[in-house]
């Protein structure tokens, strides 16, 4: 298996652009793909602004900033996604992920590693319709990817051990802490953390307290962010999508039931910080 030199990331949203920042700063040639050119332009401007801020704060040198930006390219042409490792961070829908991976598998070598940043869908389900499923695995970053140290490495039923270990070593070389998780809906973190959001929403639904009070209580008890402030950071729409996915994958187990309040926020376009309004206004 050849060394990984070029990494492609699909999806220029908060997560995908954050992963691209991590890989470029780690010295890898990075290709960021999105079907929406506006998202790519936003990501490009965001990277330049972030690197400028890091230089100003003394976190990195101007030379490192320039080298990292030079390693990054942006494209809405899927045929330009030729890489040693491809990480998808697209919408949390199995059909979309299948279509994407089938497209890039057709234009890349059989040795190209295909990784999903899915928060909830089992890797084995994703790999099922992809050629050479033994090279498919989960590399699950957490938001915001440049700051959060933890990354879950998920090995599907058909994933080769050497692929999983190679990716684990690669991500650890980027300064991350990797945890190997079994392939199950939500893996470790999102399965456990789901109740932080779901129960907070239930308390709100039942009018036990308003969301500001719930956040204040959780933060005063040691959590860095309350559930509602955290949902706004992650994206109310993203959080709702993951909850809905896990709810279905666990055969409608009531403990994962999505909230109608969160559904209303999504329907109204109140997606959190990225839209200027979620549970809070920004």
pLDDT tens, residue by residue, 40-94: 999 999 999 999 999 999 999 999 999 999 999 999 999 999 999 999 999 889 9
Residues carrying an active site annotation = 140
Mutual angle of helices 260-268 and 236-249, in 10-degree steps? 140
Q: Could you tell me if 115 and 40 lie in one domain?
A: yes
| Element (DSSP H or E) covering residue 146 | none
- Would residue 44 count as lying in a domain? yes
Distance CA 276, CA 172 (A): 34
Can you list the residues of the chain whose pLDDT is less than 50?
1
- Would residue 1 count as lying in a domain? no
Looking at 131, 149, 181, the residue that finishes a domain is 181
Q: Could you tell me if 154 and 245 lie in one domain?
A: no
Query: What is the side-by-side strand order in the sheet with 29-33?
Result: 72-75, 29-33, 6-10, 85-88, 113-116, 136-141, 150-155, 177-181
- Which residue from 216, 231, 207, 208 is spatially nearest to 280, judged by alpha carbons? 231
Distance CA 194, CA 237 (A): 14
Residue range(s) defining the domain that contains residue 244: 190-275
Looking at 181, 207, 239, the residue that finishes a domain is 181
Q: Could you tell me if 149 and 225 lie in one domain?
A: no
What residues does 137 pair with on adjacent strands? 115, 155
Q: Could you tell me if 258 and 124 lie in one domain?
A: no
- Which residue from 78, 121, 119, 84 is spatially nearest to 102, judged by alpha carbons? 78
In this prediction, residue 143 carries a pLDDT of 85
- Would residue 282 count as lying in a domain? no
In this prediction, residue 206 carries a pLDDT of 96
Domain containing 246 — which CATH number? Answer: 1.10.1040.50
Q: Could you tell me if 137 and 230 lie in one domain?
A: no
Number of compact structural domains in the chain: 2
- Please answer whether residues 8 and 81 qualify as being in contact, where contact means their C-beta atoms are separated by less than 8 angstroms: yes
Q: Could you tell me if 130 and 255 lie in one domain?
A: no
Q: Could you tell me if 204 and 173 lie in one domain?
A: no
In this prediction, residue 2 carries a pLDDT of 52
Looking at 142, 158, 181, the residue that finishes a domain is 181
């Amino acid at each position: 298996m050849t060394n990984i030199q070029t990494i492609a990331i699909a999806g220029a949203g908060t997560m995908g652009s954050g992963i691209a920042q991590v890989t470029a700063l780690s010295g890898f040639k990075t290709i960021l793909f999105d079907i929406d050119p506006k998202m790519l332009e936003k990501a490009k401007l965001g990277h330049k602004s972030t690197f400028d801020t890091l230089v100003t704060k003394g976190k990195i040198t101007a030379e490192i900033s320039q080298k990292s930006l030079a390693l990054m390219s942006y494209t809405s042409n899927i045929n330009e996604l030729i890489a040693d490792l491809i990480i998808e961070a697209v919408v949390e829908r199995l059909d979309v992920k299948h279509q994407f991976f089938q497209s890039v598998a057709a234009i890349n070598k059989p040795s190209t590693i295909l990784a999903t940043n899915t928060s909830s869908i089992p890797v084995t389900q994703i790999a099922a319709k992809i050629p050479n499923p033994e090279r498919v695995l989960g590399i699950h970053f957490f938001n915001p990817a440049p700051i959060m140290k933890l990354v879950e490495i998920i090995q599907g039923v058909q994933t080769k051990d050497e692929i999983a270990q190679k990716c684990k070593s690669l991500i650890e070389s980027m300064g991350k802490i990797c945890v190997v998780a079994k392939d199950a809906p939500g893996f470790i973190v999102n399965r456990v953390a789901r109740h932080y959001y779901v129960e907070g929403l239930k308390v709100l639904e039942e009018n036990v307290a308003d969301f500001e009070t719930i956040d204040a209580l959780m933060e005063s008890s040691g959590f860095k962010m309350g559930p509602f402030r955290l949902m706004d950071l992650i994206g109310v729409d993203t959080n709702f999508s993951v909850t809905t996915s896990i709810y279905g994958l666990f055969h409608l187990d009531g403990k994962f039931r999505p909230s109608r309040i969160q559904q209303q926020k999504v329907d109204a376009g109140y997606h959190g910080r990225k839209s200027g309004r979620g549970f809070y206004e920004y």
